[in-house]
Amino acid sequence: MSSPIAFTWPLPGDEIARLAEVRAVRVREGGELLDEAGLAEFVGNAEAVVTLLADPMTDRVMAACPSLRVIANCAVGYDNIDLEAARRRGIWVTNTPDVLTEATADLAWALILAVTRRVVEGDAMVRQGGFHGWRPDLLLGTGLQGKTLGIVGYGRIGRAVARRAAGFGMEVAYSDSEERPEPGVSARRLSLEQLLAASHVLSIHCPLTPETHHILDVRNLRLLPDGAFVVNTARGPVIDEEALVAALESGRLAGVGLDVYEAEPDVHPGLLGRTNVVLLPHVGSATLETRSAMAGLAIENAVAVLDGREPPTPVVRGD
């Protein structure tokens, strides 16, 4: 029998069960996330591993798993994987783009609406018995009509967020290394500095790379207009959280919505007590439909490599 495909976590949906009917699988039961030593031990002699974005697939882990031929990340992002090490060792790396685009764009909008219309504050007020009847000035928020939505990173998810903006009457501008026209969306491409200066709401959609690490730092945060909102559903370290907290404390930012954190799963204590901050636990793609589709695509990638075929969504080509 072929070597089992290892899953570092039991993924939602029935894709693993369907695979198990035709191939050997080894599925971890969940529990704590794995560190490097735990990952190395769990993957062992497997030729294929389906990983989570929180699994640190470092050179050390790869060195300890000499049979490994494919790392099929069940995420669109792959900053948890040492790509250089995989390349050097001839290991394929794959990800799960496209299938999670719409769910993640929806969640970015959920955060935009939550922070601008103070949804979480309102919920807390009602539950705590603080709602004593309609008032003209109760929980005034900020309207979106006619304002500019700035998108940092105009890839698949950034463009899906832009497509939704017309429904809220927002102008769209973006910064990206490439001009990327999106059918049906009129969007201006600006430099990052111009984009920041123009954005009433800034939404982050770039991958985490050495170039994007802390692109929202003290200096760049100062370029946002007073009263701007910042939403991040990409990767935490794109924003310098210390600088973000300072911008909130100074009152210059009106609100922040985060699904991701610089030192995930830890959250900067300066964010926790603020009512104008909405915090989610990295759930951008968390619908049953999307997570099942991600599992299905990750499995397709792993199986393709084991069967000597081209995987559908490669990031690094192996031997």
Q: How far is the CB of 162 from ligand GLV (least distance, A)?
A: 19
Contact call for residue 76 and ligand GLV (CB under 6 A) = yes
Question: Restricting to residues 266-285, which ones interact with ligand GLV according to CB under 6 A?
Answer: 284-285
Q: 141: which 2 tokens?
A: 């928020």
Identity of the residue, 94 or 148, whose beta carbon is nearer to ligand GLV in the bound complex: 94
* CB atoms inside a 10 Å sphere around CB 266: 10
282 flagged as catalytic: yes
Q: Is 235 a catalytic residue?
A: yes
Residue 223 beta carbon to ligand GLV: minimum distance, rounded to whole angstroms:
26
Please answer whether residues 3 and 22 qualify as being in contact, where contact means their C-beta atoms are separated by less than 8 angstroms.
Answer: no
- Annotation marks residue 264 as catalytic: yes
If one asks whether residue 237 binds ligand GLV (CB under 6 A), the answer comes out as: no
Decide if residue 110 touches ligand GLV (CB under 6 A).
Answer: no
The single-letter code of the amino acid at 41 is E
Give me the least distance between CB of 53 and ligand GLV, in Å please: 5
Strand residue runs (E) in the chain: 5-7, 25-27, 48-51, 70-73, 92-94, 148-152, 171-175, 187-189, 201-204, 228-232, 253-258, 277-279, 314-316
Contact between 34 and ligand GLV by CB under 6 A: the answer reads no
In angstroms, the CA 81 to CA 46 distance is 17
Residue of 69, 89, 282, 291 marked active site:
282
State the binding string over 36-55 for ligand GLV (x if CB under 6 A, else -).
-----------------x--
Judged by CB under 6 A, does residue 56 bind ligand GLV?
no
Binding ligand GLV (rule: CB under 6 A), the pick from 19, 50, 100, 187 is: 100
Which positions are annotated as active-site residues? 235, 264, 282
Site residues (vs ligand GLV, CB under 6 A): 53, 75-77, 100, 284-285
